[in-house]
Structure 1
Amino acid sequence: MRIPYAPTEPADPTPENQAIYDRIRERRKPRPLIPLDLALLHNPEIADGYNKLMGAVRTKISLSQALAELAICYIAVLNDATYEWTAHAPLALKAGAKREALEAVLKGDVKSADVLSEDEMMVLAFTEQSTRNIKIDDELFAKIKVRFSDQEVMELTITVAGYNMVSRFLVALDVTESNGKRMVMPQ
């Protein structure tokens, strides 16, 4: 990493900081704090806000988890965020994404109706437009609104925005020294 990781215990062990570390540990349980946490914990308040937001994005949405994970994996590909890919590609498969769909995402072949469903292609087009251009064109947005509820549209939007934030943070600081490493399909 381009800066040292924060310590696994608060440098300033106030009750507030200890509570933040405990909340993040609780979210990661049974795993220990991960390198991303230790990068964020240079500022416990920011780490706490991140943990709450991204925890909700990961576990409290009504949007299909498989679609959300495919979007996250595509963000990793678009932003060359190897650590994000390594963390989320197995989660995509576990959530029910087809291996062929994930392989298409890895190759950047996200318009193949032979491999991807219409929903997957729409979500990946939305992800690409949001990541590359920020603005979603009206035609695609209209299709998304017809297919998904207002809540799901909001959840897709915050998932894509949030994981773009994550990938930019990971790559800028080279969390886990993953920059430049090849993205590979999980076993």
Structure 2
Amino acid sequence: MQSRLTEVTLASANGEQKRVLDSILNGPRGNLDGPFLAWIHSPALADTAQALGAFCRYHTGLPLRLSELAILTTAAQWQSQAEWQIHEPIAHEAGVSQAITEAIRTGLEPKFQAEDERLIYRLTTELYHTKRISDALYHNAREQFGEPVLVELIGLLGYYALVAMTLNAFSVRRNTGQPLPFTER
């Protein structure tokens, strides 16, 4: 990974940064990747964001397939290169089709086979485009997922929007040699 920020390593980290680095490296992530390259410059933010991120990524009531679909829809909304690069392979492993991810990446409406995927996509895109969720869509999502999971989904979207903004602001990229998923402005 690369970014426009000064790299923080175990050797260069201060005491608080080392504590947070240790927590991140020994947690479910196991690496200092993505937004943590930036957040480690503010250990208090990194510590708090890590806890929220671990919940959003690993402990919501959504199946991984649906949470990754929501994350990719967020990455496309923000045109976040690294967020897409990190989560597209995870989404495919979780069962989201290549056709769906490519449609989302290019701004087209995907052709969903699964109703739960269609609902996640509709809810996510409506919220990002209108800044609200219509009553009909809200009731449909509440019926499908239940209120606790719906609340968790909105939290997940907020967290990954924060991730996308962080990655974009600090030009965080994966050094893959592959073309970037989104055209740079």
What are the within-5 Å matches in structure 2 for residues 3-152 of structure 1? Answer: 3-9=4-10, 13-14=14-15, 16-27=16-27, 28-29=29-30, 32-110=31-109, 112=111, 115-152=112-149
**Paired residues, what number?**
177
Does the aligned pair in 1 maintain the 2:34–2:82 contact within 8 Å? no
In structure 1, how many angstroms separate the alpha carbons of the residues matched to 2:172 and 2:97?
28
Does the aligned pair in 1 maintain the 2:17–2:41 contact within 8 Å? no
Alpha carbons of structure 1 residues 96 and 11: separation in structure 2 relative to 1, 3 Å: same
Structure with more relative contact order (C-alpha pairs < 8 Å, separation 6 or more): 2
Aligned to 1:165: 162
| Paired amino acid for 2:87 | H
Does the aligned pair in 2 maintain the 1:93–1:99 contact within 8 Å? yes
In structure 2, how many angstroms separate the alpha carbons of the residues matched to 1:93 and 1:111?
15
In structure 1, how many angstroms separate the alpha carbons of the residues matched to 2:169 and 2:76?
15
Q: C-alpha displacement at 1:104, in angstroms?
A: 2.5
In structure 2, how many angstroms separate the alpha carbons of the residues matched to 1:3 and 1:50?
20
In structure 1, how many angstroms separate the alpha carbons of the residues matched to 2:155 and 2:23?
22
| Paired amino acid for 1:36 | P
TM-score (norm 2): 0.84
Q: C-alpha displacement at 1:65, in angstroms?
A: 1.0
TM-score (norm 1): 0.83
Aligned to 1:175: 172
Does the aligned pair in 2 maintain the 1:8–1:33 contact within 8 Å? no
Alpha carbons of structure 1 residues 8 and 132: separation in structure 2 relative to 1, 3 Å: farther
Q: Structure 2: which 5+ runs fail to align?
A: none
| Paired amino acid for 1:160 | L
Q: SS at the partner of 1:105?
A: helix
| Paired amino acid for 2:151 | M
In structure 1, how many angstroms separate the alpha carbons of the residues matched to 2:181 and 2:58?
25
Q: SS at the partner of 2:35?
A: helix
Alpha carbons of structure 1 residues 23 and 107: separation in structure 2 relative to 1, 3 Å: same
In structure 1, how many angstroms separate the alpha carbons of the residues matched to 2:136 and 2:125?
14
Deviations 1:35-75 (A, max 9, x none): 53221111101011111110111111121110110111111
Q: SS at the partner of 2:108?
A: coil
Does the aligned pair in 2 maintain the 1:130–1:136 contact within 8 Å? yes
In structure 1, how many angstroms separate the alpha carbons of the residues matched to 2:17 and 2:171?
25
Q: Structure 1: which 5+ runs fail to align?
A: none
In structure 2, how many angstroms separate the alpha carbons of the residues matched to 1:42 and 1:6?
9
Q: C-alpha displacement at 1:11, in angstroms?
A: 5.1
In structure 1, how many angstroms separate the alpha carbons of the residues matched to 2:135 and 2:122?
12
Does the aligned pair in 2 maintain the 1:110–1:121 contact within 8 Å? no
